[in-house]
Amino acid sequence: MLSQLRMDVYSLNLRHLRAIVEINRCGSISGAASAVNLTQPAITQALARLEGVLGQALFLRRADGMTASAAADLFVPRAEAALEQIASTRVTMAQLRALVAIADAGSYAGASLTTGLSQPSLHRAVGDLALALRRELVVRRGKGIALTDAGRALARRFRLAIAELSAALSELEALQGRETGRIAIGAMPLSRARLLPSSVSAFHRAYPEVSISIVEGAFHELVEPLRDGALDCIIGAMRDPSPGPDLKQTALFDDRPAVIARHDHPLQTSDIASLARYPWSVPPPGTPLRDQWERMFADAGIAPPHVPIECGSVITIRQILIDSDFLTLLSPDQVAVELEAGWLRCICDVPPGLIRRIGMTTRANWRPTARQASFIALLKEHAGSS
């Protein structure tokens, strides 16, 4: 679905998008022609071509001007947001596509393979873009290439523009009764236990034609794809402090971790001093669970024990626990099967004040499509029953 949406996005003409944005703002062909410095016939032709590509009328022609259709009400705000990201009237869609392809592939050869465009065409498009914007975007690095800081920043904005236009096309398809679209989710460890699987299963039953992509990883691995527009949201432990003003965190539920060990672990008491005498496997410093683990000992006035194995993988930690006297701190939901099977047991819960707030992180200015909004509503509903 994503490749098809991107193919459709790249068939759009940025000058045509600017024209329809101005038609919507001015309410007339003549007003739009003056705003974008084109003739009225050129604006009329641009509108006709765009409506032909979209397969829907964007404006109703009246004697006193142009009235936006339901399709325009969906499409124009997305087009405005995309043009705001592109931030230049000198950029063409071919140039945008070339820079994003090179940024994604890391080379002209790789970009040529993914787009089907020749390397000379890609060279020319990126070179023309650099000249138009008067900034260096790509530099030679040994036998390869690298994007400059300006090139990376521009590629991010271009990706966000593509995400807006992809969402616009999806909404237009939905307007015609065709269930399409895509949701790309970044899944941190705790979300994979119960919340995300149950939410995704329920959503797929309701909207089977919507494509769902789930990318697993730690927060630091997922946050840049989120900022690039490759992910729509990240679900997992919330960050404190907030990861930045460009991101928004929404709480879903509170999780209380527990100390977990193998079923026949020799530890019989749950006082903090006894816990400190055993080896631990916990995530690296800077993660919410590690912060809670350190606070558990600090609040008791005990130095945190040595951590011989730092690990954030539940699968790996599970096997370490089964094979040793190691302890760990996890949500019981993350090892529910192992607890029910009797392979592992809960030694004790953490003190009452030590909870993890599980939530959803999105871009601050992200506007979900109707189908994405339906998924979020379902996610919140399932979180409320967690």
**Could you tell me the CATH number of the domain that includes residue 123?**
1.10.10.10
- Measured between its terminal Cα atoms, the distance across the chain in Å is 31
CATH number at residue 246: 3.40.190.10
Q: Are residues 331 and 195 in the same domain?
A: no
Residue 41 included in any domain: no
Q: Are residues 304 and 241 in the same domain?
A: no
Alpha carbon 190 to its chain centroid, in Å, reads 17
Residue 60 included in any domain: no
Q: Are residues 302 and 343 in the same domain?
A: yes
Q: Are residues 301 and 370 in the same domain?
A: no
Q: Are residues 148 and 236 in the same domain?
A: no
User: Which residues, in sequence order, are bridge partners of residue 280?
Assistant: 327
Q: Are residues 307 and 338 in the same domain?
A: yes
Domains: count for the chain: 3
Residue 134 included in any domain: yes
Q: Are residues 262 and 113 in the same domain?
A: no
Q: Are residues 270 and 349 in the same domain?
A: yes
Q: Which structural domain range is residue 326 located in?
A: 257-353
Write a three-state SS string for 204-242. HHHCCCCEEEEEECCHHHHHHHHHHCCCCEEEEECCCCC
Residue 53 included in any domain: no
Residue 364 included in any domain: yes
pLDDT in tens, 210-268: 999 999 998 999 999 999 999 999 999 899 888 999 999 999 999 889 999 999 999 98
Angle, helix 29-36 to helix 14-26, in steps of 10 degrees: 130
Pairing label, strands 233-237, 356-363: antiparallel
Q: Are residues 139 and 268 in the same domain?
A: no
CA nearest 80: which of 367, 289, 374, 339?
367
Q: Are residues 250 and 362 in the same domain?
A: yes
Helix (H) or strand (E) holding 250: strand 247-255
DSSP-based three-state secondary structure for 352: coil
Q: Please state, in angstroms and rounded to a whole number, the distance separating the CA atoms of residues 13 and 79.
A: 11
Q: Are residues 374 and 228 in the same domain?
A: yes
Residue 147 included in any domain: yes
pLDDT in tens, 271-313: 899 999 999 999 999 888 899 999 999 999 999 999 999 998 8
Residue 316 included in any domain: yes
Q: Are residues 230 and 367 in the same domain?
A: yes
pLDDT in tens, 102-145: 999 999 999 999 999 999 999 999 999 999 999 999 998 887 89
